[in-house]
Amino acid sequence: MIKLIVCVCIVALSIGCRKSQQPIEASSQSHQNELELRMTGSNGKDAATFLLSSEFRKISLEIDALDSVSKRNFHKNYVSIDSTGTALSSRLFMESDPEKIIGKLNDCFFKQMNIVVKIERETFENSLPDRIYEFKTATVPGACLLMLLVGEKADIPLSIVSIKSHYFIRFDNGNVKRNIELLTGGTAYPDSWYLSNYAKNSSDTLRILSAREASGMLYYMTSLFLRDANPNSAITGFAKALEKYPSFTDAQNQIDVIIDKNNDVPKLLEYLVATRFENASLGALDRSLALLNFRTGNFKSAADYYERALNRQPDDVALIKGAGISYLNLHDYDTAKRYLIKANLAVPSDTQVVNWLAKCP
């Protein structure tokens, strides 16, 4: 009888212990889930990640090969950025409080790295992350890219947000969102503040950039500094920017500027045809190839490239008009009318389109 009572007590004690441990296990699991949220920013689910750091390494090596004059110590600075992010990750180990995470990120960026963010003319030194790390002064886009690189290494869920020509950082772990304004040392302004200060009209909205689109910004800025010394390579770089960030109109504008200034169209055309052939992903070059073929009177090739470009940007009125005029010159009036009517519907006030339509039988 005594043995039976002892056994019952032991069993009861064992059950009681397991019950008392359950909240601890649940708490531990909850904490782990919070950590996963911080690291992934998407409900803790694994997903294919586009690594900005890998793209940055590739871009910088390409630029160094083209521009050895600048003598950028990329490798040393890249390792330093990488190490800074790793050290920050260690300081954030098992930290799930967003305020503390952001606070340590800001301390790392503005105090440890001593980065000063200003609105000023872009240069190599203040626009490219590895140069910013070395020279400590940054434009807003350059600072955003550097913080994104550090945050990526530290497993902090960050994104770049754009509104008009301004950029800022957003922390978003799936539960908490907070903006980080780099011009004011990491101040957390609400979305309404950005809309009030930067939106010019109701169509101006906040746009969150993916890591792929952020890499497009990197390609854009590096190509910007090659524009005068190596315009052909700059065009390729801007096209790569558009490949990553298709709606980045500044990159397309830069390509258009280079083409407009070029005095040797056949040579440029030859270079772009070869580049396009070697890089199947650079569909952004189709627009330029269409324009250059049109200028040389090769309307068949121009029409083909306009068609390809329209596959990427079906509502681009300039491309629609270009295709229409190309087919008009080829005497393919039915196809010409189809494109020109579409252009006319998009911009009824364009009298040139009306005149071209009148030339179609």
Please compute the mean of the pLDDT values over residues 240-251 and round it to a whole number.
91
Mapped onto helix, strand or coil, the DSSP state of residue 31 is helix
Judge if 230 and 353 occupy the same domain.
yes
Determine the pLDDT at residue 74.
63
Alpha-carbon gap, residue 249 to 241, rounded angstroms: 10
Of 199 and 11, the structure prediction assigns the larger pLDDT to: 199
CB of 194 within 8 A of CB of 200? no
Contacts 24+ apart (CB under 8 A), 305-310: 308/283, 309/283
For 109-131, the pLDDT digits (tens) are: 999 999 999 998 888 789 889 88
CB of 169 within 8 A of CB of 163? no
* Inside any domain, residue 90: yes
Say how many C-beta atoms besides its own lie within 10 A of residue 162's C-beta. Answer: 20
Judge if 250 and 199 occupy the same domain.
no
CB of 123 within 8 A of CB of 130? no
Which tokens sit at 258?
């280079």
CB of 341 within 8 A of CB of 316? no
Please compute the mean of the pLDDT values over residues 20-36 and round it to a whole number.
36
Judge if 249 and 311 occupy the same domain.
yes
Judge if 298 and 202 occupy the same domain.
no
Judge if 147 and 171 occupy the same domain.
yes
Tokens 């199947």 sit at which residue? 280
Closest CA to 285 of 319, 212, 236: 236
Distances (CA, A) of 42 to 49, 71, 93, 95, 173: 11, 40, 19, 17, 7
Alpha-carbon gap, residue 231 to 262, rounded angstroms: 9
Question: Which of 189, 212, 235 is the endpoint of a domain?
Answer: 212
pLDDT over 70 at 200, yes or no: yes
Least confident interval from 34-48, 181-195, 303-317, 320-334: 34-48
Question: Which of 177, 194, 212 is the endpoint of a domain?
Answer: 212
Indicate which CATH number applies to the domain containing 61.
3.10.620
Judge if 191 and 223 occupy the same domain.
no
Least confident interval from 39-48, 51-60, 223-232, 335-344: 39-48
Of 29 and 246, the structure prediction assigns the larger pLDDT to: 246
Alpha-carbon gap, residue 75 to 353, rounded angstroms: 53
List beta partners, residue 166: 163
Judge if 176 and 61 occupy the same domain.
yes
Q: Given its phi and psi angles, is residue 123 left (phi above 0), alpha (psi -120 to 50 degrees) or beta?
A: beta
Question: Which of 212, 236, 259 is the endpoint of a domain?
Answer: 212
Q: Which pLDDT band, with edges at 50, 70 and 90, does 78 fall under?
A: confident
Cα-only R_g, the chain: 27
CA 314 to chain centre: 22
Please compute the mean of the pLDDT values over residues 329-344 and round it to a whole number.
95
* Inside any domain, residue 21: no
Judge if 105 and 121 occupy the same domain.
yes
User: Do the bridges between strand 166-172 and strand 207-209 make them parallel or antiparallel, or are there none, so unpaired?
Assistant: unpaired
Of 52 and 200, the structure prediction assigns the larger pLDDT to: 200
Alpha-carbon gap, residue 232 to 226, rounded angstroms: 9
Determine the pLDDT at residue 66.
57
* Inside any domain, residue 12: no
* Inside any domain, residue 98: yes
CB of 129 within 8 A of CB of 142? yes
Judge if 196 and 300 occupy the same domain.
no
Which tokens sit at 267?
């040579």
Q: What is the DSSP letter of 205?
A: -
Least confident interval from 47-51, 252-256, 279-283: 47-51
Judge if 241 and 207 occupy the same domain.
no
Judge if 208 and 229 occupy the same domain.
no
Distances (CA, A) of 297 to 63, 162, 290, 359: 34, 40, 11, 18
* Inside any domain, residue 66: yes
Please compute the mean of the pLDDT values over residues 344-350 and round it to a whole number.
93
Number of domains composing the chain = 2
Judge if 204 and 231 occupy the same domain.
no
pLDDT over 70 at 22, yes or no: no
* Inside any domain, residue 187: yes
Question: How many helices (H) and strands (E) are present in the chain, helices listed first?
Answer: 17, 6
Least confident interval from 91-100, 218-227, 284-293, 328-337: 218-227
Alpha-carbon gap, residue 63 to 221, rounded angstroms: 11
Alpha-carbon gap, residue 142 to 162, rounded angstroms: 13
Alpha-carbon gap, residue 338 to 327, rounded angstroms: 10
Q: Which pLDDT band, with edges at 50, 70 and 90, does 318 fall under?
A: very high
Determine the pLDDT at residue 11.
37
Please compute the mean of the pLDDT values over residues 230-245 and round it to a whole number.
91
pLDDT over 80 at 4, yes or no: no
Which residues form the domain of 60?
52-212
pLDDT over 90 at 263, yes or no: no
Determine the pLDDT at residue 67.
54
* Inside any domain, residue 16: no
Please compute the mean of the pLDDT values over residues 5-17 and round it to a whole number.
41
Determine the pLDDT at residue 128.
87
Q: What is the residue-wise DSSP string for 243-292? A: HH-TT-HHHHHHHHHHHHH-S-HHHHHHHHHHHHHH-TT-TTHHHHHHHH
